[in-house]
Structures are given as C-alpha cells and as structure tokens.
Amino acid sequence: MKTFKIAVIPGDGIGPEVINEGIKLMTRIAELDGRMKFQFTHFSWGCEYYLKHGRMMDEDGIEQLKSFDAIYLGAVGYPGVPDHISLWDLLLRIRKEFDQYVNIRPITLLNGAPCPIVGGSKDTIDMLFIRENSEGEYAGAGDWLFKGKPQEVVLQTGVFSRVGTERIIRYAFETASREGKTLTSISKGNALNYSMVFWDQVFEEVGKEYPNVQTYSYLVDAAAMFMIKDPKRFEVVVTSNLFGDILTDLGAALAGGLGLAAGANINPERKYPSMFEPIHGSAPDIAGKGMANPLAAIWSASQMFDFFGFEDIGKQILHSMEKTLEEGSILTPDLGGYASTSEVGASVGEIYTEMIKSRTSV
Ligand code: NAD
Ligand code: IPM
Ligand code: MN
C-alpha cells in the first residue's frame, strides 16, 4: 500500500471550509479502497499568517513543500492584504517555483448541474482547458516609471518563451491525441502583434507533428462568444495564462458556477509536487457562513486521484457528485439549495460509500 504525503494549504475565506470536505472524502475513500493511505500535513499560510508575520508563508516554505507528493490548496486572498501581495507570495509563487506549467481545468456540465444556456447538456458542454501556467501575461515582469508624475507610465510585459510556449502546446496535442479529441488554440494575433503571432506560429509548427489531431484556432473575443452560443465546438482547448484564467470562469458559469469548477496545476515531469485547487477564490461575501459549495474542491481531489493513477476513483467521485446534483435535495445556496458545506460533503461521501458497498456485495 502506498502512502501519499499531501501538503494542505487551506488558505483564506472559504478555502478551509471547502478543503475540509475534500480531506474527509479522501480519507474515507482511502479506508474503503485499501490501495492507498493519505498523510495530510496542514500549513496555516495565508492572509491571517501575513498579518502576524509579514509574509504569506514560512521563509523556507517552498523547501518544506518539496518533499510532498501533492499540494491541496483552498483559496488565497482576503480584504486587508493587497491581492497582488498575497497571490504573488503564495499561490503564484508555488505555481512558478514548482514549474507547474500546465493548468488543467475541466469545463464539463455534470448531470444535474444547472446551466444558464438553453439546451446545455453534458453532450454540448464538455471541454478540457489546458492553460499555460508559468509565464505569458503572468510573467510578473514590468516597470512603473515616473510614479505620481504627469508622465507616469506603467508596463506589464507578457513573456512567451520558445520553451514555455512549445511545451504547453505539445502537452495539449498529446492530450487531444490520446483522447481522440479536437484541439482548439485560443489567442489574439490580430492585436497582440508579438506574443500571439508567436503563439499561433508555434501552434502550427507543433501541429505538424500531430497530423491525427484536428485543430482549430480562434481569436479570444470570438471564442468567448462561441463558448456561449455553440460550446459543442470546443473539446481540448489550449490558451495563454490570462486568457485561460478569464475563459475558465466563463466556462465555470456554463457548467454550474464557480462552486463546481476545479483545477490542477501540474508539473508533468514530476520533478516537483503538483497542486490541486478549486478555481474559485476565497469568496469573502459568503466566508464563515458554512454555505460555500465544496464540490469544486472535491472535483480537484478527484483530479488528484487521477494524477496518482487511480482514475477509477476519480470517475467514481464525479459520479457521486452527479448523483448528489441529480437528487437535488442536498445542495448549497449557489445551486438553489439550503444545505451547508458539510452536508453536501457528507452526501457525496455517503453516495460514494453506498456505490462501493453495493458493487462489492454483488
Ligand atoms: P471568488 O471566486 O472568491 O468569488 C466570486 C463569486 O463566486 C462570489 O460571489 C462568491 O461568493 C462565489 N463563489 C466562489 N466560490 C464559491 C463556492 N465554492 N460556493 C459558492 N459560491 C462561490 O472571486 P473574487 O470575489 O473575485 O475574489 C475574492 C478573493 O479571492 C480575492 O482576494 C482574489 O484575489 C482571490 N482569488 C483567489 C483564487 C485562488 O486562490 N485560486 C482564485 C480567484 C480569486
Ligand atoms: C485562478 C486565480 C488566480 C489566477 C489569481 C488569484 C492570481 O484567479 O487560479 O484562476 O489568476 O491564476
Ligand atoms: Mn481565476
């Protein structure tokens, strides 16, 4: 039996509330399954920690995280600490230091989840976003000149390296090829006359190595429109850091809301730990009320099982979420229900347990 060491960073706002449910479910599954064990180590890093220590994480925090098999993170950022400080010192820092250059965000409308567009179903909304996660518009490069003067100028530089652009596009081609899906690149070469012209060129070059993959290329503005008007055209999607950030919140809205949107920050070489987190933030407007939807965090946990090679469990978790959604009586307010975070978590756990027990008893 393998023991997986998981670093847990619950973070701020609703982060701890939703992560708690993911941990309970993972623990229950490990007990039922018997193939693995989880050893969770909690790190109380985040905005409260910052207010006490003037830092978002321990000085040697990155070193401490290195020995873990994965990181399970809730959310970072809270009023009282400027967002660019909290995010750059914790979440974005981990993504960068651990070269988690692939951000996998499934946008799939689960059975029973609400959809704001007519005719939305799992057949029409089933996309896999692969977001570049290490550079691009998030390179953190720029300058602030003549601060406060009339000639003040601020630069935010996008950085698209050959290595960085090729590896994310190649990863997307590999995924599409393996899954027998089409691949769509989303860029903006008409206006961004360096970065996105280069992106499009690399997409075309790498594409030549994958003649079996049908490709499409969209400008990001048109892509945003088609995601609503005709989402079926998107299967595997590859895009830059910022476009991926924005479009996956749009996608989340299509697939039941932010309470249902999961993500995995992957270092494919497995040289460093990968990190699993819901794509939503700390939701200060509902924090502390026990009403946050834990399903996004639970979906991220299912991505962790996939990553560890237990795809069967990953699927069963999604199936248990679908049963909870379809049954419809135990849902949080964002999905029109009255249940608490922990009631929803418990419901998924019970459905999972029943499913496993009924299988083994047949
Ligand atoms: P947000 O995702 O926290 O919230 C947007 C809206 O969605 C809010 O109305 C919120 O109540 C709702 N929502 C989000 N998650 C929900 C859930 N699980 N269940 C029910 N409703 C949910 O985005 P924001 O308000 O723009 O940002 C708040 C803070 O979080 C900021 O500091 C921001 O920088 C940070 N943030 C962090 C992450 C992250 O850690 N990965 C992601 C996004 C935003
Ligand atoms: C996300 C978040 C982060 C991002 C923020 C909090 C820096 O919005 O994970 O989607 O932009 O990547
Ligand atoms: Mn985002």
Q: Which domain holds residue 357?
A: 1-101+259-362
- Of 229, 255, 281, the one marking the end of a domain is 255
How much is the pLDDT for 360?
A: 72
Same domain (yes/no): 53, 119: no
Residue 108 belongs to some domain of the structure:
no
Task: Specify whether 248 is located in the same domain as 129.
Answer: yes
Assess if residue 217 is contained within a domain.
yes
324 part of a folded domain: yes
Name the residue at shortest CA distance from atom 8 of ligand 2.
245
Q: Does residue 319 contact residue 270 with C-beta atoms inside 8 Å?
A: no
Residue 318 resides in a domain = yes
What count of other Cβ atoms lies within 10 Å of the Cβ of residue 301? Answer: 26
| Residue 334 CB less than 6 A away from ligand 1 | yes
Check whether residue 293 and residue 248 sit in a common domain.
no
Among 101, 132, 245, 248, say which to mutate for ligand 2: greatest number of ligand atoms within 8 Å of CB.
245
Tell me the angle at which helices 341-361 and 295-307 cross, rounded to the nearest 10 degrees: 40
Q: Give pLDDT, residue 362.
A: 53
Q: Ligand 3 center to residue 88 CA distance, Å?
A: 14
Same domain, yes or no: 12 and 94: yes
CB 179 within 8 A of CB 236: yes
Neighbours of 197 (CB within 10 A): 14
Residue 212 domain flag: yes
Instruction: Specify whether 179 is located in the same domain as 81.
Output: no
Q: Tell whether 139 and 271 lie within a shared domain.
A: no
Closest CA to 68 of 144, 112, 119, 8: 8
The answer to whether the CB of 36 falls within 8 A of the CB of 310 is: yes
- Shared domain for 203 and 274, answered yes or no, is no
Ligand 1 atom nearest to CA at 73: 40
Claim to verify: residue 127 and residue 229 sit in the same structural domain = yes
**Exposed/middle/buried for 100, CB within 10 Å: 0-12, 13-18, 19+?**
buried
Indicate whether 106 belongs to any domain.
Answer: no
Q: Answer whether 99 contacts ligand 1 (Cβ < 6 A).
A: no
Owner of token pair 């993911």: 22
Position 361 scores a pLDDT of 67
Residue 275 in contact with ligand 2 by CB distance below 6 A: no
On whether both 234 and 317 belong to a single domain, the answer is no
Instruction: Please give the structure tokens belonging to residue 265.
Output: 């920050």
Domain with 189 in it: what CATH number?
Answer: 3.40.718.10
Tally of domains in the chain = 2
What sign does the dihedral 105-109-114-118 (CA atoms) show?
Answer: positive
Q: Does 121 fall in a domain?
A: yes
pLDDT of residue 359: 83
Q: Single out the residue in 214, 233, 255 at which a domain terminates.
A: 255
**Residue 110: inside a domain, yes or no?**
no
Ligand nearest to the CA of 240: 2
Task: Identify whether residues 2 and 41 lie together within a single domain.
Answer: yes
Q: What is the pLDDT along the chain (362 residues), one digit of tens a residue?
A: 999 999 999 999 999 999 999 999 999 999 999 999 999 999 999 999 999 999 999 999 999 999 999 999 999 999 999 999 999 999 999 999 999 999 999 999 999 999 999 989 999 999 999 999 999 999 999 999 999 999 999 999 999 999 999 999 999 999 999 999 999 999 999 999 999 999 999 999 999 999 999 999 999 999 999 999 999 999 999 999 999 999 999 999 999 999 999 999 999 999 999 999 999 999 999 999 999 999 999 999 999 999 999 999 999 999 999 999 999 999 999 999 999 999 999 999 999 999 999 987 65
Does residue 176 share a domain with residue 129? yes
292 lines ligand 1 (CB under 6 A): yes
Of 231, 255, 279, which marks where a domain is finished? 255
**CB-ligand 1 contact for 77 (6 Å cutoff):** yes
Q: Which of 71, 87, 103 best tests ligand 2's pocket when mutated (most atoms within 8 Å of CB)?
A: 87
The reply to whether 87 and 161 lie within a common domain is no
* pTM score above 0.95: yes
